[in-house]
Amino acid sequence: MSALCSSPKLVILGAPGAGKGTQAALLAEKLNTPHLSTGDILREEVRKGTELGKRAQEYMDRGDLVPDDIIIGAMNERLKEAGGSTSNGFILDGFPRTLEQAKALSSAVQLDLVFLVKLSQDEVVRRLSARRVCERCGRNYNLLFNPPQEEGRCDLCGAALASRVDDSPEVIRRRYQLHRKQSKGVEDFYREQGILQEIEGDQPIAEIHQAILDTLND
Ligand code: AP5
């Protein structure tokens, strides 16, 4: 594995449901690097009932983006905790989503690579409508692609599985449209820096993972 892979600073971009979280988790395990998901961070704050969670929840439930000032402040703190300003690596999933967020990130750290996982709206709706998440441990399942062994129960901890509040078809479409509106500026920002790598998301999970590893090894 190349030097880049020992402590890379990576971002995974993509539409809702493109597979950012799935790929970031696999990569984090493979590279033994922290995985920072803004969606997971915000959902945890909502669960704990913190001030940040209370401010974020209404945006999340509607499928809107949480305002930049809230999310940038929260991410700066997490990056410091993960050693983002030192030589340690990390994998960001779901951040940045606006040009303002991308600029704030670039003033804090120098990224190595940004992966963009591409997927059509129809496939996004199909996948997210079939997503189920463990209410206790947060493990992700998909009724079409990786169902649990026992219907409605987590393989790992046995707790109940549920759909995410923002995974209704109407909210999924809203999230997708918002993504299309916001993402171009972010993608162009990284394309101009020569660090954007595009990957087709309509492939099996293992193949996308391998494509990311191959790129890191090049
Ligand atoms: P977040 O949780 O980040 O939601 P999202 O971006 O909409 O992404 P998802 O988690 O839905 O999808 P994913 O791409 O991670 O796909 P996954 O791997 O889970 O954010 C939620 C909300 O928080 C936002 O709407 C916003 O309100 C707020 N927020 C977050 N970040 C923010 C920011 N930076 N700024 C402002 N607001 C922010 O996969 C999806 C499903 O498909 C799973 O069931 C999985 O098993 C399956 N799957 C994955 N890959 C494949 C494959 N290759 N083949 C078949 N199935 C697959």
Per residue of the chain (218 residues), give pLDDT as tens: 454 556 899 999 999 999 999 999 999 999 989 999 999 999 999 999 999 999 999 999 999 999 999 999 999 888 887 765 445 789 999 999 999 999 999 998 899 999 999 999 999 999 999 999 999 998 889 999 999 999 999 999 999 999 998 999 899 999 999 999 999 999 999 999 999 999 999 999 999 999 999 999 98
What is d(CA 89, CA 174) in angstroms, rounded to the nearest whole number?
A: 33
Lookup: tokens for 77: 């703190």
Q: Closest Cα partner for 24 from 96, 109, 124, 115?
A: 115
- Beta bridge partners, 91, equal 10, 35
**pTM (2 d.p.):** 0.92
Helical segments of 32-131, H only? 38-48, 51-62, 68-81, 99-108, 121-129
Query: What residues does ligand 1 touch, defined as CB less than 6 Å away?
Result: 14, 16-22, 38-39, 42, 59-60, 63-66, 71, 94-97, 101, 127-128, 131, 140, 142, 145-146, 166, 175, 204-205, 208
Determine whether 47 is exposed, middle or buried from the number of CB atoms within 10 Å of its CB (0-12, 13-18, 19+): exposed
What is d(CA 105, CA 189) in angstroms, rounded to the nearest whole number?
A: 12
Helical segments of 82-168, H only? 99-108, 121-129
